[in-house]
Amino acid sequence: MTASSTRELDRERYFAALDHHFERTLGEHGPSARGVDWSSAEAQERRFRELLRVCEDGGERRGTLLDYGCGYGGLLGYMRAREYGLDYTGFDVSERMLAHARELWADAADARFIGSEQELEAADYVVASGLFGLKLDSADEAWLDYALDTIGALDRLARRGFAFNMLTSYSDPERTRADLYYADPGSIFDFCKRRFSRNVALLHDYDLYEFTVIVRK
């Protein structure tokens, strides 16, 4: 599954449009689940729960974790409330998001937030929540190429495993939006299984219009 697109994603233009989008949502809702465009805090936490299964193999909750596309650091709050013993690094391309994260978690000695890919270091676990859904006006083919390239980056950064979620192509047609990307779960599973590890799980049994993929090494 090496989709050849007729056009590449203009990342600079996309990230500028994305920052403008979140300027509006954060202005309306502040650094919260709604502020990063989730429907509710409950839905956001359900996503966190599924993603963090990657670091619970054998009951372990120790090591280092990279939150790739961390937003305001909502995952860190979820982890702290549940006593995950993971040193946390949040990465985001949006300085607006990082400013909120650094302010919210200024007292977190076991956490840091970075905005440069050059600063990224390998972690035991890497997770990405909501990274592949909001394509705005990007072409589907270009967006899929971008998503697959980014999944490859998650793999390179993860020592023990990584996890990500995507909106599902099994969504009810009347609920879909033109600015969102809905992926084929089977194709994404096959891509990960063939490229990264024989230990891959596809979770599509929770009550959201999406799926989670977990890759263990």
| Residue at token pair 């990405």 | 128
Amino acid at 191: F
Percent of the chain whose predicted confidence (pLDDT) is above 90: 65
In angstroms, the CA 181 to CA 79 distance is: 28
Taking CA atoms, 110 is separated from 88, 89, 121, in Å, by: 6, 8, 15
In angstroms, the CA 111 to CA 109 distance is: 6
State the chain's mean pLDDT as an integer.
Answer: 89
Amino acid at 184: D
pLDDT value at position 13?
85
In angstroms, the CA 217 to CA 208 distance is: 27
State pLDDT tens for residues 125-146. 999 999 999 999 999 999 999 9
User: Is it the case that residue 34 has pLDDT exceeding 80?
Assistant: no
pLDDT value at position 38?
66
Q: Which CATH number is associated with domain 28-216?
A: 3.40.50.150
State pLDDT tens for residues 156-182. 999 999 999 999 999 999 989 999 999
Contact 192, 1 (CB under 8 A): no
pTM of structure: 0.89
